[in-house]
Chains A and B, each alone.
Chain A
């Protein structure tokens, strides 16, 4: 099955700096890569996703890059703010045996702390 590795497990940055979180996946058939943010005591929420037909996607201060050849994808947050402090999870899709329904395999998460 799919295996997703996420690094680093913790990341501390100063406000205004950039933060980068990296993930690798094992299943070359994976074609959907979302990123979820979970604030303390809250539920995970999607912040950005990318599909295998593009190499990069941006949404204001957040961007995701995908390298299908190397099977890795990264989350980039620029001009970090204290409210960016949270746990971030990457995920990769994989299909069931019939190839018609998809599940997500999540990385173990990165605790990002933005210091004022």
Chain B
């Protein structure tokens, strides 16, 4: 059974804090993705990775960085959290390009 997990369902942080969101998949997928979901804006791609230690900017990478040291794990880092980064963050993975993306349950991040 396909499984994508995220480290937290809910997270509350202060402005200026460094925030780590972690995503783990157990399907040996090549590609992993980080999206943020905001009402009325749909799913917007922040970063994606197609191999260990490889990363590509998505559509809204500003204020974020990522790390993929192991194939199964993809981390999203907010270097200095700001209130406009309050959002739902969704991780996804797929075995190869142009294939089904499997999503994690999401992390709802609130930055105060």
Partners in one complex: yes
Chain A contacts of B42 at CB under 8 A? 6, 89, 106-109
Q: B92 to nearest A CB, angstroms?
A: 8
Q: Is A103 an interface residue (CB 8 A)?
A: yes
How far apart are the CA atoms of A40 and B100 in the complex, in Å? Answer: 21
Identify B103's interface contact among A44, A49, A93, A100, CB under 8 A.
A44
Contact B43 A96 (CB under 8 A): no
Q: Which of A45-71 contact B (CB under 8 A)?
A: 45-46, 49, 51
Contact A101 B97 (CB under 8 A): yes
How far apart are the CA atoms of A93 and B100 in the complex, in Å? Answer: 12
- Chain A: CB-nearest residue to B100: A46
Bitwise, A21-37 to B at CB < 8 A (1) or not (0) is 00000000001101000
Contact A43 B105 (CB under 8 A): yes
Q: Is the interface of A mostly helix, strand, loop or mixed?
A: strand
Q: Which of B1-52 contact A (CB under 8 A)?
A: 31, 33, 35, 40-45, 48, 50
Contact A31 B33 (CB under 8 A): no
Contact B40 A103 (CB under 8 A): no
Chain B contacts of A89 at CB under 8 A? 42-43
How far apart are the CA atoms of A109 and B48 in the complex, in Å? Answer: 21
Given contacts A34-B101, A45-B103, 7 further A-B contacts (CB under 8 A): A46-B100, A96-B56, A103-B56, A106-B35, A106-B42, A108-B41, A108-B42
Between-chain CB contacts (< 8 Å), 23 pairs: A6-B42, A31-B98, A34-B100, A43-B90, A43-B103, A43-B105, A43-B106, A44-B90, A45-B103, A91-B43, A93-B97, A101-B31, A101-B50, A101-B97, A102-B97, A102-B98, A103-B45, A104-B45, A105-B59, A106-B43, A106-B44, A108-B41, A108-B42
Which residues of A pack against B, CB within 8 Å?
1, 6, 9, 31-32, 34, 43-46, 49, 51, 89, 91, 93, 96, 100-109
